[in-house]
Structure 1
């Protein structure tokens, strides 16, 4: 931020904080709650670039936006919701859940909306972070355009899916119709009766297309690479079940435990293409697709991937193939040559005209923390440190970044289970590190913690070796999980339980401590912080019974077109 824009604010409580959290989504909310529950500090700030809490569930408001993980698992263990209206909640319901939790824990007093972090720089002498904040919003910007916020500990809760990725297609700016990215949906535009082109066929497009197909006059989906798509088995949750889950808590706990165990069991489907569960998932994907595309068998081969299941995200849906089966919905597999003033031209010279082009092209996933500029110890830029790919100790602490933590960082993404289960483990771990810094500060001491280089290197080498043996590294497919050189930077190779177990204690010897509180930390024995054990105490018989009972609640009628 240039000095001409930066204005120094005199209110020390406004510009000085013990902890700064960047982002008010799922991770930022979890971190703030753990600061309240596990540390003595109340001097923390949450900087949110938008005007509402919710993160991805505030940004992604496109038609059909919903979770692709069961709601029973996509919720905090300490704030489980009993009254989800569907097994897979929609965006509005998820946002209401997060908003309610922010209100319940009184987090709004700590949040500064319309506040974007442009740069964060570690001061080696003062042992603190200097965070440059840009302020937006008509009223907020009347006070100052930006300011410097100094903090002892900096936490990034921006995640991997927050900056839209726009395709590099020639002529993209030449289109004179309406164009929007899925993560920047304009609900002021009515697509009823319109001709719509959808660029992309991943998890987002598969949710959008069925909704567009309901009222648009023509929908064309531009597919570059097919995905493995499995039935989602979504359904409304009856009033009776919601009543029982609310007033008979053991049933809610049992449901979550059974689903947790089942999801962990499916881990092999995403990592080992030769496993039995992977083969079953593959067969299920093919049979369900063929049964729903009865009127367009010519698309079958086009929609069956040639790469192993699991190396790209497995996408669940109940209605995408039904939409493709409609007469007014087309699948285009010829590569896009360019965007014209009126539509899209493919490499075979064919052109289609559109009123609306939807860019369902995902996010800039491998550029963690983009576009923030981060400078750590000795002025080392994070961009330079990660020039060969992002690395972090268990995805949360970074070499050369003292008193820094991040959520949903490198190698913490999942292909089989709820990311909230990972986030809670990360929040417990980081709150323990922050607690040590706060304790030192209470004793009028300074303390800076950063992971040792050899520890980070050994950890990264170990998980990369595991990842190279997994489906994620398969050279037959490209995905947002990995770099062009094949190195997997996004995914965790193991199960959730394995990650939670690894994060259940802080080994202080993994960290280099400096400051006047150094000696205290160096004497510390490992701190056991535990984990949430939600997969335990359920036998395989109970698991099987639970899955059968759950499956019995789903509608498998011929109107769905599924054959099992």
Structure 2
């Protein structure tokens, strides 16, 4: 029987473990460095943390959930859902196991842990995600601040914000969720904005008993938002009719929620919609108009012991700084040291940017697969949908390995051809028009999928053995 080691117990790791268990594979080990499962839904516990994809779509197709309280569920409900799925299918991760390195040797993978342990397996699956390592801004004096400071993904719940002067650096997807909540407790809240985000209204609803009892209603809603995501994806690929429509919706939302023309001008993005992550919120823009909130657009030049200094020379006093500055999304698998056939390191293979065939396999790294790997993130649609397709593909690969008794290694020419196609298409997409976390420093988009999720479904539906070379 083939043995499989899965590193990470978020939606990707649990998803591939379930797929393998359902196919009859029993020698499947899931390890997780934390003390519980959940991935980003374990780490991000800031006030108001939730998903901006409707819950019926942000779930496994084989595990619909009638318990969703609202259309856009928050962190506790999502983490609880994932735990129930793992329990239903008998997935029991080993917690407190941090993999620090992995090496392909003698036809198998050998992983080493931070505690000095060794784990061997025929197949290695990394499910570390793209949003697992917080990014801190490189601002002079950041370590000199005398107050409390933390990243939104490492929220300090022991820090009481009641009556405090709070500064928020960043206006991304996390900030638009926690700013309205922090505003309710803070004496003053200063939001530092580098670039204004596109904000769309969130069509949230509370689900009632009638919806909960109707599987048909749940499937119809899932299908509707799948279709809506596909239409929006055309805009990201360059369809101006779609982007103009969505920009108009966002502009109307801004005009309806912000009456002050001076503030409204500060909140108008200076880039095409979709170039950076589009946000959904009904309470962020109103929060910025409250008496105890101020929005600053001057660049932060320095952090002092007493606060933050901006380019106009003003020092903004603060007791607490919260960094809503995103993640190091392009540093896939870091800091794990991975070495494939012949001792070649993954860092060497990814010189110039991370790349993988279908986002999952890398030449000279036999029987190694990535969940949520390079060029599989979405600007529109549910990443759980993508992960489910990847899990199905990995399951087919494991079945091939079991049948042939050898190792699958993607052909270099196949991987190179795929990468060239993806980058050519991305160069024509909205994501190539501005600087964002989707892109490497040299401009390469290494995170996002260039097409529709239906295309990814089609291309990963059946593993083509001719894409691989066999290592006996």
TM-score interval, smaller chain: over 0.9
Aligned-partner SS, 2:98: strand
Contact 1:234–1:318 under 8 Å retained in 2: no
Q: 1:250: which partner in 2?
A: 216
Q: 1:525: which partner in 2?
A: none
Is 1:466 aligned to 2:450, yes or no? no
Q: 1:167: which partner in 2?
A: 137
Aligned-partner SS, 1:107: coil
Instruction: Note the 1:434-449 alignment, pairs <5 A.
Output: 434-440=398-404, 445=405, 447-449=406-408
Aligned-partner SS, 1:430: helix
CA deviations on 1:456-509 (whole Å, 9 max, x unpaired) are 0011111111111110111xx211111122211111111110110011111101
Instruction: Note the 1:130-529 alignment, pairs <5 A.
Output: 130-134=110-114, 145-242=115-212, 246=213, 248-272=214-238, 274-294=239-259, 296-440=260-404, 445=405, 447-474=406-433, 477-515=434-472
For 1:386 and 1:514, the matched residues in 2 are separated by: 22
CA deviations on 1:131-169 (whole Å, 9 max, x unpaired) are 0012xxxxxxxxxx3211111110001110001111111
Is 1:22 aligned to 2:11, yes or no? no
Contact 2:211–2:217 under 8 Å retained in 1: no
Contact 1:271–1:311 under 8 Å retained in 2: no
For 2:280 and 2:35, the matched residues in 1 are separated by: 31
For 2:204 and 2:225, the matched residues in 1 are separated by: 14
For 1:86 and 1:255, the matched residues in 2 are separated by: 13
Q: 1:142: which partner in 2?
A: none
Shift of 1:41: 2.5
Contact 1:231–1:288 under 8 Å retained in 2: yes
Which consecutive unaligned segments of at least 5 residues does structure 2 have? Answer: none
For 1:424 and 1:288, the matched residues in 2 are separated by: 34
Residue 118 of structure 1, aligned match among 71, 91, 100? 100
Residue 63 of structure 1, aligned match among 27, 47, 52? 47
Contact 1:220–1:332 under 8 Å retained in 2: yes
Instruction: Note the 1:72-151 alignment, pairs <5 A.
Output: 72-108=56-92, 111-123=93-105, 126-134=106-114, 145-151=115-121
Moved over 4 A (4+): none
Which consecutive unaligned segments of at least 5 residues does structure 1 have? Answer: 1-15, 135-144, 516-564
Instruction: Note the 1:45-56 alignment, pairs <5 A.
Output: 45-56=29-40
Contact 1:121–1:379 under 8 Å retained in 2: yes
Shift of 1:284: 1.3
Structure number, greater radius of gyration? 1
CA deviations on 1:10-63 (whole Å, 9 max, x unpaired) are xxxxxx98111000000111111011112x331121110101111110000001
Aligned-partner SS, 2:57: coil
Shift of 1:438: 2.5
For 2:222 and 2:134, the matched residues in 1 are separated by: 32
For 1:438 and 1:19, the matched residues in 2 are separated by: 11
Contact 1:47–1:113 under 8 Å retained in 2: yes
CA deviations on 1:256-275 (whole Å, 9 max, x unpaired) are 11221122122123332x52
For 2:367 and 2:211, the matched residues in 1 are separated by: 45
For 1:17 and 1:209, the matched residues in 2 are separated by: 48
Contact 1:334–1:347 under 8 Å retained in 2: yes
Aligned-partner SS, 2:80: helix
Shift of 1:179: 0.6
Contact 2:2–2:398 under 8 Å retained in 1: no
For 2:281 and 2:70, the matched residues in 1 are separated by: 14
Shift of 1:83: 2.4
